[in-house]
Amino acid sequence: MSLPEPLRPGQWPDGHVDEQTFAAYLAELPVSKVWRQKQAARRRAFVARWPRLEDWLAEPLPVRVGSLPGQRADRLTDRISFEGRLYVIHLSLQHGLRLDWPYLTAAATLRVPRNVGGSLAAGIECLVADSVQLGYTRRSSEHAFWPLVGRLLLAAGHADPARLGEADLTAYAQALTEFAKREDVAAFYGPAEAFTVRARILRSHLHRLATVLYHRGQLAEPPSMAKPTYAQRHVGPPAMEKILVCYLETRALDARPSTLEKVELGLRRFMAFLAQHAPQVTDWEHVTRQDALAFATYLDTATGFRSGHPLRAGQPGNPLAIMTKRAMLSAVSVFTSDVASWGWPGGPTRPLLGAGDLPKVPRRVPRYIPDHELDRLMAAVTSLPDSYQRAALLIARWSGARRDEIRRLELDCLDAYPDGTPRLRIPAGKTRRERQVPIHPDAADAIRAVQVDRGAERGFRDDLSGTVVRRLFVRKGRPCSASYLFDASLETACVAAGLVDAARQPTITAHRFRHTVGTQLAESGARLHTIMQVLGHTSPGMSMVYAQISDPQVLADYQSVLTPGATIAGPAAEALRGGRLGPEAVDWLTTNFLKTELELGHCLRLPAEGPCECDLYLSCAKFVTTPRYADRLRRRHRMQQTLIDDARTRGWEREVQRHQATAARIQALLTELGEPLHENHDFDGQVCL
């Protein structure tokens, strides 16, 4: 059915179309003659009741809606208005009448007939087909799009779904918010919670439509999920809000969106605290250090919020974790320091918190997954029915990549080395560096399975690079969340593998795969640079953690010194053999033994004793060494002999005596260790970095 031209100004002075025009529209519908006659009669009654269309538009909302919940068919609020809906729809879709959102929202049973045919029906069917292509079912897409798109077009005053854009969807979302504030909501929807449930469903449908429109190119940016009620941000006094907004815009120039989100969360929670505990403070200039410290004390007893079902949103949950409290206080510290240094008028005049005010975080040893648990877990992972979840966990297992790095993998992330070994390209993430690492064939096969399953969706803008990239893990037109890829899948796998605690919670997290890869590399003798490259570390110290906890020589050397009957030499040897070290000293040595290593042994001098300035292997009472250092001692002894010969040639008798004393002391240490003086082979231990 071809659509007539929209009304031109003055074409229909009263806003109505004549009977012949409406009859021509009805004639093209696949309906009976009796039904056409009935609709024509309803139009005549509507025009007779409201000769000017603007009179109907000015009627109270219940009159325009015509039928309210619970009313009998013979006792409607306004039968003429209710039965004239098809005529009103005709005026909107074919003659440019833009219906208002209060009417479209209140008229819960208003529907654009599916038998309208023409480009309107074809346009909606095209949206349904695109939704199915993204992974949604046809039935759910038809159920969502026919009433939803119909209302959007009635508000826009045209019948072309291809012209819908961001403004149309935003207007509907805002209309739902505004309608919920009306005092007469129950008159149109019955029980108070009925509209809440309907609005939640409509927002879900809006998000699906926005996803489809984005991949069709009708929206510039992909839609974001609406935040739950408990995540709504506190808005502070105008003076404080202005400074905060300017600060966030400035930080957005170099900070990742996730970082900016945490900063804003901390600062807005601080403003909410001030509004409750210091309402007299209305600008940043008058916020004191005492206010900031009081906020820190408040966070010690504050709780988070439970996520999950929207009707339970906002209920208090568990106490805040140390890292959460530290992030919020850090946001206040950095904000006040930055703005004070920038000299912004109305901003904080000095930093309110320092590093010493932040909660101290214990430094934990990385927790790798033991082999017996890893085998059971991976058997369960390979049995996961979802190819996306299975691939994500296999990538985590064999690459050691972070969760966000895996979630942001690009569709073409997999290639191969010249010898055919699969190679994974990991996108720039926490350290802002892209890297390539070898990947196990099992993980490579899982990636290829996902690649085959993917359609031709539009790409997404990367937070770091700013470029639009096609991601690997995209389902139903949206990037998969970390919760879906890792949390839900690991819960299923851990339950299947029996790796749960007493509360039936998984004992394995996705990050432990990363620790496992680092530990296995270190135990296999991988170079420090290799561990750094695979895990994406920017400093050797980050990777040294795995070398320290995994080096079997560290354990052997520790046992050779601190276990009964060990072969040791040096001034501290007698104290160790005789058990004359106190409990505190033994505890310190047990914790920090690796840090005591020197070139020729270990210095057991405790921190409380202050620095040692002597030549340790000669005279320090805290020096101890083991047979592991015998080759180094022999090398040093040979060096001393060379120095003795050189000093004699030059006639430096005092230097000869000094080097002879050093050589004698080294020889004595070797004798105590039961090691020969002239055995000639290289030291096979690791050099302390």
Strands, E, within 382-483: which ranges? 414-416, 422-426, 435-438, 460-461, 468-469, 474-475, 478-479
Residues 556-590: b if buried by 16+ CB within 10 A, e if exposed: ebbeebbeeebebbbbbbebbeeeebeeeeeebbe
Band (684; pLDDT cuts 50, 70, 90): very low
Query: At 193, which helix (H) or strand (E)?
Result: helix 192-216
Task: Dump pLDDT digits (tens) for 29-42.
Answer: 888 999 999 999 99
> What tokens were used for 279?
């309402």
Q: Is the pLDDT of residue 308 over 60?
A: no
Residues 399-414: b if buried by 16+ CB within 10 A, e if exposed: bbbbbebbbbbebebb
- Listed ranges 266-275, 577-586, 641-650; the one with the highest mean pLDDT: 266-275
Band (682; pLDDT cuts 50, 70, 90): very low
Strand partners, 478: 475
Band (11; pLDDT cuts 50, 70, 90): very low
Q: Is the pLDDT of residue 117 over 80?
A: no
pLDDT at residue 311, as a whole number: 32
pLDDT at residue 433, as a whole number: 83
What whole-number distance in Å separates Cα of residue 127 and Cα of residue 454?
Answer: 19
Q: Is the pLDDT of residue 3 over 90?
A: no
Q: State the amino acid at position 348 in one-letter form.
A: P
Average pLDDT value for residue range 594-599: 58
> What tokens were used for 485?
């890829």
Residue 410: what are its φ and ψ, rounded to 5°? -85, 160
Task: Quickly tell me which residue has 């009306």 as its tokens.
Answer: 182
Please say whether the beta carbons of 338 and 351 come within 8 A. no
Q: What is the torsional sign of CA 404, 406, 407, 413? A: positive
What whole-number distance in Å separates Cα of residue 40 and Cα of residue 32?
Answer: 13
Please say whether the beta carbons of 600 and 632 come within 8 A. yes
Task: Dump pLDDT digits (tens) for 150-170.
Answer: 999 999 999 999 999 999 999
pLDDT at residue 589, as a whole number: 66
Task: Dump pLDDT digits (tens) for 436-455.
Answer: 999 999 999 999 999 998 87
Q: Which residues, other chains included, contact 218 with Cβ-Cβ below 8 Å and sequence gap of 6+?
A: 162, 164, 165
Pairing relationship of beta strands 303-305 and 474-475 according to DSSP bridges: unpaired
pLDDT at residue 559, as a whole number: 59
Q: Which of 110-124, 189-203, 412-426, 581-595 has the least mean pLDDT?
A: 581-595
What whole-number distance in Å separates Cα of residue 270 and Cα of residue 116?
Answer: 55
DSSP 522: H
pLDDT at residue 212, as a whole number: 94
Please say whether the beta carbons of 84 and 42 come within 8 A. yes
What whole-number distance in Å separates Cα of residue 443 and Cα of residue 418?
Answer: 18
What whole-number distance in Å separates Cα of residue 315 and Cα of residue 317?
Answer: 6
Which is higher by pLDDT, 552 or 545?
A: 545
Task: Dump pLDDT digits (tens) for 93-113.
Answer: 988 899 999 999 999 989 888
Task: Quickly tell me which residue has 């096979």 as its tokens.
Answer: 684
Average pLDDT value for residue range 69-93: 90
Q: Is the pLDDT of residue 603 over 60?
A: yes
Task: Dump pLDDT digits (tens) for 551-587.
Answer: 555 556 555 655 666 677 776 676 766 666 666 666 6
What whole-number distance in Å separates Cα of residue 670 and Cα of residue 689?
Answer: 25
Q: Is the pLDDT of residue 680 over 70?
A: no
Q: How many CB atoms lie within 10 A of CB 296?
A: 17
What share of the chain in percent tops pLDDT 70? 82
Residue 163 DSSP SS3: helix
Please say whether the beta carbons of 319 and 303 come within 8 A. yes
Please say whether the beta carbons of 22 and 36 come within 8 A. no
Q: Which of 185-194, 260-269, 381-390, 601-610 has the least mean pLDDT?
A: 601-610
Q: Which of 111-115, 179-183, 248-252, 542-546 has the least mean pLDDT?
A: 542-546
Question: Average model confidence (pLDDT) for the chain?
Answer: 83
pLDDT at residue 530, as a whole number: 84
pLDDT at residue 10, as a whole number: 40
Global pTM value: 0.69
Please say whether the beta carbons of 470 and 411 come within 8 A. yes
What whole-number distance in Å separates Cα of residue 669 and Cα of residue 684?
Answer: 19
Helices and strands (H and E) in the chain: how many: 31, 11
The length of the chain, given as a count of residues? 689
Q: Taking the chain, what is the end-to-end CA distance rounded to the nearest angstrom? A: 80
Q: Is the pLDDT of residue 617 over 80?
A: no
pLDDT at residue 219, as a whole number: 93
pLDDT at residue 493, as a whole number: 95
> What tokens were used for 653?
């008798």
Which is higher by pLDDT, 398 or 233?
A: 398
Strand partners, 438: 423
Residue 31 DSSP SS3: coil
Sheet holding 435-438, edge to edge: 414-416, 422-426, 435-438
> What tokens were used for 55?
């009179």
Average pLDDT value for residue range 240-268: 89
Please say whether the beta carbons of 56 and 97 come within 8 A. no
Band (1; pLDDT cuts 50, 70, 90): very low
